[in-house]
Structure formats: C-alpha cells, structure tokens
Amino acid sequence: MHSMQIQNDFSLKKYNTFGIEAKAKQFVAVHSTDELREVLKQHPNDKKFILGGGSNMLLTQDVDALVIHVDLKGKRVVSQDEDFVTVEAQAGENWHGFVLWTIGQNFGGLENMSLIPGNVGTTPIQNIGAYGTEIKDTFVSCDAMEIATQKIHTFTNAECRFGYRESVFKQELKNRYIITSVQFKLTKRNHKINTSYGDIMAELAKQNIDTPQLKDVSNAVIAIRQSKLPDPKELGNSGSFFKNPIISKTDFDQVQAKFPDIKFFPVSETEVKVPAGWLIEQAGFKGMRFGDAGVHKNQALVLVNYGHASGQDILNVSKEIQRTILEKFGIAIEAEVNVI
C-alpha cells in the first residue's frame, strides 16, 4: 500500500493542464476508496478540494485547502452478453487510455471521445463530449463517496441529470461527493458508428475509408483533435474555455440578420446553439497573444498559456473576450472550465 503522506505548500503546476504555478496549502494523493475514506475521516473540518486530471480548471490563486488527488486505478469488464458489455474504470484512470482499452477489445461507444484530456472520474461532472457523442449516451452509473459521511452511493444515468456540459455534480451536489468509479454500457457487435459530425466524414474520406471500424473513427478523431487542439504537454490549455451559448430562436434571428454567415446548430424548436469559437474568431481574437496568455491559432475556443502566464492573466483575457462578444453580438458566453 502507498503511504498517504500529506505535503504542505505543494506546487500544482504539474497537476493542471494549463501549467499554472499555484500552491496547495496541503496535498495528498489517494489510491483506494479506503485511503480516501481515511483522509476524509482524519480531516473532517478542513476545507477540501478534489483534484482529478486537472484538465478543466484555471487556478487564479493558491488553493487554501487540503487538495485530495484522486488516483484510483483499474478497469474491468463487469458483465456481458453477446451484444453488450458493461465496463468499469476507476476514477484516476486516464480517459484516453481507457477509451483505447475499450476499442482494443472491439467495444463500441466511446470512440468519438478519443483523446479528450483528463481522468475518468471527472467525465460525469461535466458530461464530456465531442464529435456527436457525450458520455451520457453510454454512461450506466457512477459510484461516489459522500464527503460528509464517507458512504458510497451509486448514481444512475437519470440521477446524474446530464445536460450539455452539465450534471447534478455541478449543481445541487457540488462539492458533496467524490466520484470513485464509472460504468459504461458498450456494444460488442452492430456498433453504432457515428460519423455525422462533418469533420469526421471529411477525415475518413481523406483516408479513403468508406466502411469505418471503431479504430478508424478513433484515429480520425485523434487526427482532427491534433490538428486543431494544442497538446497540453506542449502548450498549456484546458480545452474549450467557454461553452457554446444556447440562445432563443428569436434572439438568434436578430443576430443572423446582422451576421448572415453565423454558424449554428438547432437545439430545439425554440433554441439554437452558436459556436463560441466562431464568435471569438469573428471578434478578431483568434491567435492573439497578450504576454504569455493567448487564444489558440487553430481553435479560438481554447485559451493557452505560452509559458509563464498566471491564472489571473488567462482570466483577464477571458473577460475581455466575454465583454467584446457581448458588445458585438449581444451574446453572453460562459466559461466551461472551473475558475478557482
């Protein structure tokens, strides 16, 4: 068993994909639910901060709390029949590693979400998604430990109340539970290959693939992501910094009258989703750099750290973008990453 050593004034630079220098007042990594329970029991009154892969947060200050890094590992097949398999991964498993493990066994359903940074345990919190798929489409349940009681509760798909980059864990249950493992139901045959997202079709055509297998879809997604999204190992970032705003059809019609080229996706009879990346690019921010903080040159939705930006530097750029988009288009865009 690992020793559970609590460290003081611990640098979080390697634990956030933005690569921001910030310190945790205290830091501990836990490798099992028993260790997690023990830490929670030993520190009932300390302020706690739960850290997974650090791929969806912007640290604008030191973290004045006990940072608990959830490092539970393991993945397994829970049950299966001829058509479907239920798989489980522990919260600390790297998401992309898990996706490749499922594809390697010809289990279908996660391939469109290849190469998303972060760990499995944080995927339900914001219902991660890409290229026409979200985890809610295959998610069965997750186990989570209640911080106050250390009891494990199993949340079903319905109980998670998933929405676009949303779940109960960002709302009523915020900071109350720590997700320890997640189960997904995947296909073993008759895979639902989903190439409806335009970029995937174009990428497969480029490779002359007309009957794509799971691996082909995964490879296409990897190629697209690598061409647009910066690798956090090379350039600090947190993926999409903003959510794509969902606005009323009435508001949209007004904006479209002024900007006929605007891109959009219908969400319902009355609502439309607008790509924030398009708005940001139109406002002239794409590729702009302000000191060490900037807007990525290939995808305007991604803010980047060129080296020594502080969280505050990145936050200031994000606020300037929000202000300009509101002024130019009358649309309010909201951060997707958690600003700490």
- Residues forming contacts to ligand EPU in the complex (CB under 6 A) are 130-131, 199, 228, 239-240, 243-244, 263, 275, 277-278, 281, 286, 299-301, 336
Which of 59/276 has CB closer to ligand EPU?
A: 276
Point out the catalytic residue in the list 165, 181, 310, 318.
Answer: 165
Q: Of 55, 181, 240, 318, which is the active-site residue?
A: 240
Shortest reach from residue 302's CB to ligand EPU, in Å:
7
- Closest CB to ligand EPU among 94 and 106? 94
| Minimum distance of ligand EPU from residue 305's CB (angstroms) | 15
3-state SS record for the chain:
CCCCCCEEEEECHHHCCCCCCCEEEEEEEECCHHHHHHHHHHCCCCCEEEECCCCCEECCCCEEEEEEEECCCCEEEEEECCCEEEEEEECCCEHHHHHHHHHHCCCECCHHHCCCCCEHHHCCCCCCEECCEEHHHCEEEEEEEECCCCCEEEEEHHHHCCECCECHHHCCCCCCEEEEEEEEEEECCCCCCCCCCHHHHHHHHHCCCCCCCHHHHHHHHHHHHHHHCCCCCCCEEEEECECCCEEEHHHHHHHHHHCCCCCCEECCCCEEECCHHHHHHHCCCCCCEECCEEECCCCCCEEEECCCCCHHHHHHHHHHHHHHHHHHHCCCCCECCEEC
240 is catalytic: yes
- For the bound state, the minimum distance from the C-beta of residue 321 to ligand EPU, rounded and expressed in Å, comes to 12
Nearer to ligand EPU, 72 or 277 (CB): 277
Nearer to ligand EPU, 103 or 301 (CB): 301
Say whether 248 is catalytic: no
Pairing between strand 48-51 and 63-70?
Answer: parallel
Residue 26 CB, shortest distance to ligand EPU, in Å, is 29
For residues 84 and 164, which CB has a smaller minimum distance to ligand EPU in the complex? 164
> From the CB of 233, what's the least distance to ligand EPU, in Å?
16
Q: Which residues are catalytic?
A: 165, 240, 336
